[in-house]
Amino acid sequence: LANHDSLRISTSIGIALYPNDGQDSETLLKNADTAMYLAKKNGRNGYAFYSPDLTDESVSHVRIQSALHEAIEKEQLHLVYQPQYNLAQNAIIGVEALVRWEHPEFGLVPPADFIPIAEKTGLIQSIGEWVLKDACLQGTDWLARGVQFGKIAVNVSALQLQQSRFIN
């Protein structure tokens, strides 16, 4: 490492035992992987044995957390725009920008599954900044093309509002 910087490494180990946890290498690796996610969930730098009681739900939180970093880097997040309708005017008065995550393995990850994790890990700041920038770019593009869209509403996390640089 340059400048004598230190690097901190931790391990999380998942253990699956032959023959109880699988009869072939593919099953053993899959079950060891499931146990590894449990080890990560329990605080890293540890290990966990596979058990049939482990469910996909018990490890999905950790998998989503791990994949969320990559989703931001690889631009797997995108915005969809939901019309805002005024019944009295019988007209669309704006759109709401909603973040969506299309993961190559998990498919469409619901916001209810990843937004709380993003808030807990602090990734919501990066996601929130991206949402604001992308919504503004989309609005600029629509204006340049003469598209009438009214206003764009963007959901903002309470954590974002607490940032001193949010208004900038």
Q: Vertex 152, ends 148 and 154: CA angle to 5°?
A: 165
Q: How confident is the model at residue 9 (pLDDT cuts 50, 70, 90)?
A: confident
At 136, list the tokens: 């503004």
Q: Is the pTM of this model over 0.85?
A: no
> Where are any strands of DSSP class E within 37-141?
46-49, 77-86, 91-103, 107-109
> Where are any strands of DSSP class E within the chain?
12-15, 46-49, 77-86, 91-103, 107-109, 151-154
Mean pLDDT of 72-90: 94
Mean pLDDT of 112-125: 89
Distances (CA, A) of 71 to 46, 121, 123, 124: 26, 14, 11, 12
Specify the residue for token string 């600029």: 140
Higher pLDDT, 70 or 8: 70
Residue 5 has a pLDDT of: 64
Residue 30 has a pLDDT of: 87
- pLDDT, one tens digit per residue, over 22-67 is 999 999 998 898 888 788 777 767 899 998 887 666 567 777 888 8
- pLDDT, one tens digit per residue, over 140-156 is 999 999 999 999 999 99
Residue 58 has a pLDDT of: 59
